[in-house]
A and B are shown apart, each in its own frame.
Chain A
Amino acid sequence: MIMKNNDLQLNKSMKLTTLITILALSAANAFGQQYTVSGYVKDQATGEVLVGATVYDAALQKGATTNGYGFYSLSLPAGSHTVKCSFVGYQTVEFSANLNGNVSHNFGLTEETVSLDAVTITAEGRDMALRTNQFCEERLTMRSIRQMPSMFGEADVVKVVQLQSGVKTLGDGSSGMFVRGGGNDQNLILIDEAPIYNPSHLFGLVSIFNPDAVNHVELFKSNMPAQYGGRVSSVIDCKMKEGNPNKFDFAVGISPLSSTLTASGPVLRERASFLVSARKSLIDLFCNAGDVFSLMPAFYDVNAKLNFQINSRNRLFLSFYNGKDRIESSDGFFNRWGNTSGTLRWNVNIGSRLFVNTSVIVSDYTNYMEFNENKHKYRWETGITDVNLKTDLAFYISPENTVKAGLGTTHHHFVPGQTADSLQSIPQINAFEHFAYLLHDFTPVEWLGVNYGVRLSVFQNCGEATWYEYNSEHQVVGTEKSSSGVYKTHTSIEPRVNVNFKLAADRSLKLGYARNAQYMQVLQNSTLSYSSLETWFPANANIKPVLVDVVSAGWFQNLGSQYSLSAELYYKWYTNQIDYVDHARLLNNPYIEGEVRTGTARAYGLELNARKTQGRLTGGISYTYSRSLRTIDGINDGREYSSLYDIPHDLKINANYRLTANWSASAVWIYTSGRPTTLPVGFYQTENSYSDLVVPIYSERNSSRFPAYHRLDLSVGYEPEKQGRVVWSANFGLYNVYGRKNPLGYRFDTDHGQVRVMQTTLFRLLPNFAVKARF
């Protein structure tokens, strides 16, 4: 019966694929003799590709944007054309082309000289929202990220993503991201296409994204394009810089938490370049565990990239990331975690209109903890290792008609929890995850754009394995073993469609639907997003994949040349959402699935945004009303309850004011409703007169809330144009300026039977700075 269902789904998928192909080809035939201008758009000074740059023929009102690799392809009728290339913050350049055949041309753009009244910082999102048929997309350049106040002086990608509407976090300093009602583990985080399973250093105070190594970040909230899959909430796609192919650049930076060293330059002039950037925490260089803190944290990370232009059509990239955190105490507690990834990528453009990207990706995440107790050394090790091979192709039939397709496979090796005692270890699991997708972006008439596609994903548990059978009471009733081959298969068809009604040049209405499947989840004890002891656990014979259906609608409006407004609505339905029973034991428990319950969830919200994108003063205001609710048998007596990140009201205001050509000031104010928590409604005393064991009593799960969270951050930045041999830049800031005591958590203490409530607060009025030298 399962096979029949799979066959049925595959049949539907084949029909949809055929339909897309026919539509794309028929649309292509509607155009006459056309030639193509194609190539890359780069920053003239640094050689970095510019993603999202526009290449257009103003006379014909036809244009294309560069893809995630900086490549564009613009098909135009035969004849003479003036093709312009523009990008936010860069001077527009022109290229005269007499098209009687396909033309290859690379654009090199120069940054605009800063004019105080014409600074444009975040206009990209403003025009992109109107222009593209894709929905729920934010593109963050490092330039815009650096404008935001930061916690420790250093620009932080994750902290800026957290400032976007619809993205929530739990408490100060965390790198956890909860996008549109989704969990922290439901975000696909990529560095040069390699998945990252824990984006945090220092328990989340710093993200793993080194700002000196990042080119740009794309954030997709819920309506992901079909080339992305495996997570149900969002995609955070980070592309590393490629290194300057023209000359050597060096940068040294220091902030309270870390120091950074970056080098880039040509390997073969204008054909091959490299980038290496390394960060290291400072605290462990000067202190030993126990000197200042009982727990001593430390981290480092290294980004490296080598790219080689074989010829005008073929390029090769090799990216590497390695980051590790370590925390230890003088009494034997030791915890080390980190990601390592490598990507070998081959880009080839065939016949000007076809762009092919083929990648081999390796990603590894491990987490190792040990501590001493009663003469015994305990250890706990978790991790996941992926090997991925994939190919994506984009066929730019015309400016109005693009087809993308791809396929790939990933081998996952899960180590959910390994201890010295094999009886307490969670069995290791191997799995294959295959995918294929087809996507058609089509603008049949000027006022209508459609972006639709389908993704087929197949997840297969395979290889040597041990798993357990559970009865209806979630107790183990049997053990199953497999020595080889596939023993469980999950298949999902994931249709996605976005419709863009371009009502006028300055406004559009978008509607979208998407289905996403996720085959692995984090099992984690902590009620915060700080713990590094997470266990990635796959779908298997006992746990089904999470499926999410989401519908969205959005109104996008530009007001004049400086302002934009948007309003977006979404509603999401979750199937097979997991949560844990009360007192779930997730460590040292081979029967971990017995602690998990599955059910349904729903999330909905309204996001309102207003932005000013030009002038000395830029910034935005966003307000989100959203809910995230779950209904799971066996939890909260089966009644609906709030998820830990059900934070209804969320107001974020950010502003950047250009003081002079070199100095700017920024401010961010955040206000959110208190996050849900389970607080006791009473207590009882047990045991005896020799101890006062006071036991809390609870009512419903997550039925209480912390007080509202709010804070104001200010910063001043100095960043001159590069003129001399050494250019100094600096950032000084204050985090939580008015010292708001936002609670991180409560602890209930007892004193002779009396209950005292202790509140933990992080970071009241935290000054910070970062200094950098480039040469």
Chain B
Amino acid sequence: MHIFFKRAVSLHLIATALFSYLFITACTEDEISLDLKNAGNPYQIAVDGGVFSYGGHQFLKLTVPFEQNGKAKPASGAKVEVSDGQNTYQYRETEKEGEYESVEEFAGEVGKVYTLKIEYNGNTYFASDSMVAATEIELEQIPAGEQTKYMKIEHWRDGEVVFCDFASIELSKHKFGCVETARWIFRDIETDYYVKTPKNLVLYDHCYSHESSIPQGVFPMATWGSGAAYNESAQPIQCVKMSMSDRYYDYLVSTFNLTDWSGGMFSTISGNVKTNLSKGGTGYFYASDVKIRYLDLDELLEIIEMFGNKELSDDYEKQ
């Protein structure tokens, strides 16, 4: 029995070593220097930004596409204006190169089509998008993920440790597929990042919400964001929902196909993102209706009850 056991163990070790050699050492990934063909880049400018129904100085960023060994450069010195068919709003470059804001404060209106015009380096680029309405935020719509949970955490207060309530909502960064598409932002309003201006909406690390995911390629690669709230100071968290047009949805899907969802060699056929910029431009200029709701602890617990990892929450409660 002893000899049989020893033989079995050695066979296991030999087999494991052999297969490890065959597969692990055989398949390698190395960083290489590759001369990507830089002739024929069809784009001279990239746009990120748009018009929100949230009033203020509307904001967008312009960058110049770059080659393999380069970095994104701001597209500085452009002449930018946005029109809704009745009014035309001029933009000016802020103190930061490549960032432009409307000279006047204004709020976008649902149902209107906004057209961007950029004059840069002797070329003129256009893009337009229509503002569709975002529905009011309902708790059951909130796209909470598996790690949404409630727990007690240690908190340092007045020189001593106290246990505080903590509610955490995990959000999928990119989930697509439901009838009503929207972008979502969750944030603790104690931080500096809560919505004050459209600029924050453009620059903040927003996430996107849909009902179910679409596996793209053989191995879908989802990335995850998370939101958290301390209720110890009874501060609610801010929930922001932004509508998107069908074209913007298509743009985002095509963008994530090439980035976060990309399965490398197993990916779908590569192609350029579905921009709404005229020839020579890429990125997207969007028009987005904004709805905001503040969620207190009771509402967060309701979300946890609906979507959260209850087993995990129970464990923490027992502690």
List residues of A whose CB falls within 8 A of some B CB.
Answer: 256, 282-283, 285-287, 291-293, 371, 373-376, 378, 380, 421, 525-528, 530-531, 533, 580-589, 678-691, 693-701, 703-704, 741, 744-747, 753-764, 766
Contacts and interface: CB of A to CB of B under 8 A. Distances in A.
B217 interface: yes
Interface of B: 11-12, 15-16, 18-20, 22-24, 26-34, 36-43, 46, 48, 63-69, 71-72, 145-146, 172, 202-205, 212-218, 220, 222, 253-255, 257-260, 264-274, 282-283
Given A292-B24, A533-B218, A680-B36, A283 B19 contact: yes
A586 B26 CA distance: 31
A435 B65 CA distance: 56
Question: What's the dominant secondary structure at chain B's contact region?
Answer: loop
Contacts of B260: 693
A746 B259 contact: no
7 contacts: A375-B146, A527-B265, A583-B257, A684-B282, A684-B283, A690-B203, A747-B29
Contacts of A282: 15, 19
A698 to B, nearest CB: 5
Contacts of B274: 583
Contacts of A701: 269, 271
Contacts of A378: 215
Contacts of B32: 757-759
A376 B212 contact: yes
Contact of A373 (B39, B40, B222): B222
Nearest to A750: B259
A693 B225 CA distance: 14
A286 B15 contact: yes
A679 B29 contact: no
Given A286-B12, A755-B68, A587 B215 contact: yes
Contacts of B30: 741, 758-759, 761
Contacts of B26: 762-764, 766
Given A681-B40, A694-B259, A758 B65 contact: no
Given A286-B16, A585-B268, A687-B48, 15 more contacts: A371-B220, A373-B220, A525-B218, A585-B214, A588-B215, A681-B39, A682-B66, A686-B48, A688-B48, A697-B42, A746-B34, A757-B32, A757-B68, A758-B29, A766-B26
A425 to B, nearest CB: 13
B23 A293 contact: yes
A287 B69 CA distance: 43
A137 B51 CA distance: 65
A580 B254 CA distance: 14
A585 B68 contact: no
A649 B264 CA distance: 26
Nearest to B8: A286
Contact of A704 (B20, B37, B282): B37
B43 A684 contact: yes
A682 B43 contact: yes
A526 B216 CA distance: 10
Given A688-B204, A759-B29, A531 B268 contact: no
Contacts of B68: 680, 682-683, 755, 757
A292 B71 contact: no
B272 A283 contact: no
Contacts of A376: 212
Given A686-B255, A758-B31, A292 B65 contact: no
Which 7 pairs of residues, A with B, have the shortest CB-CB distance? A582-B271, A745-B265, A685-B72, A684-B46, A690-B205, A286-B15, A682-B41
Contact of A678 (B255, B264, B271): B271
B269 to A, nearest CB: 5
Contacts of B37: 679, 681, 699, 703-704
A93 to B, nearest CB: 46
Contact of B63 (A685, A741, A745): A685
Contacts of B23: 292-293
Contact of B38 (A681, A686, A696, A754): A681
Nearest to A757: B34
A760 B28 contact: yes
Given A693-B259, A697-B282, A701-B271, A582 B254 contact: yes
B256 to A, nearest CB: 9
B66 A525 contact: no
Given A373-B213, A693-B259, A679 B36 contact: yes
A695 B255 contact: yes
A581 B205 contact: no
Contacts of B11: 286
A694 B255 CA distance: 9
Contacts of B266: 525-528, 530-531
B48 A256 contact: no
Contact of A528 (B36, B202, B265): B265
B269 A527 contact: yes
Given A754-B71, A758-B30, A766-B22, A582 B36 contact: no
Contact of A374 (B19, B39, B43, B172): B172
A535 to B, nearest CB: 13
B285 to A, nearest CB: 12
B71 A283 contact: no
Contact of A686 (B145, B205, B217, B283): B283
Contact of B27 (A291, A525, A697, A761): A761
B205 to A, nearest CB: 4
B216 A585 contact: yes
B268 A584 contact: yes
A678 B265 CA distance: 11
B204 A256 contact: no
Nearest to B73: A685
A300 B95 CA distance: 66
Contacts of A380: 215
Contact of A683 (B31, B65, B145): B65
